[in-house]
């Protein structure tokens, strides 16, 4: 099972919006609505930001939103803030297993 494809980096200025893509196949992203997104700051455990493509856990700001079209899922961060600078990972259910993306480093300029 191959990893999902994410851009290695993304950036935006405070207040702007940035979108991170996550491309898989019909066997994972395209086949199920079980796409999740995680935020990871250096030295910390990942934090769940989005599940089931577009749902936010309690406590996650509504600046974070998710969507999916075909085999590609996306995470959009609106109103960028300095604390949003982190690594972001997507994951998807792939039929009895879970696969992650390679990660995207988000820089707030």
Partner 1 sequence: QVQLVQSGAEVKKPGSSVKVSCKASGGTFSSYTISWVRQAPGQGLEWMGRIIPILGIANYAQKFQGRVTITADKSTSTAYMELSSLRSEDTAVYYCARELTVAGTVYAFDIWGQGTMVTVSS
Q: Determine contact, residues 40/89, Cβ cutoff 8 Å.
A: yes
**DSSP H helix total and E strand total for the chain:** 0, 9
Is residue 83 helix, strand or coil? helix
Number of C-alpha atoms within 13 angstroms, CB side, residue 23?
A: 4
- Choose between 51 and 108: whose C-beta lies nearer to partner 1: 51
14 vs 95, beta carbon nearer partner 1: 95
Could you say whether residue 103 binds partner 1 (CB under 8 A)? yes
Alpha helices in the chain (DSSP H): none
Contacting range for partner 1; rule: CB under 8 A; set: 15-23, 30-38, 69-77, 78-86: 30-38
Q: Interface with partner 1 includes 3 (CB under 8 A)?
A: yes
Using CB under 8 A, list all residues that contact partner 1: 1, 3, 32, 34, 36, 38, 40, 45-48, 51-52, 57, 89, 91-93, 96-103
């Amino acid at each position: 099972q191959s990893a999902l494809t994410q851009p290695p980096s993304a950036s935006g200025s405070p207040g702007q919006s940035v979108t991170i893509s996550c491309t898989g196949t019909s066997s994972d992203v395209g086949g199920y609505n079980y796409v999740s997104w995680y935020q990871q700051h250096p030295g910390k455990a990942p934090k769940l930001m989005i599940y089931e493509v577009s749902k936010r856990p309690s406590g996650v700001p509504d600046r974070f939103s998710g969507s999916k079209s075909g085999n590609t899922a996306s995470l959009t961060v609106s109103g960028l803030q300095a604390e949003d600078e982190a690594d972001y990972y997507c994951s998807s259910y792939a039929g009895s297993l879970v696969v992650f993306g390679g990660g995207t480093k988000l820089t707030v300029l």
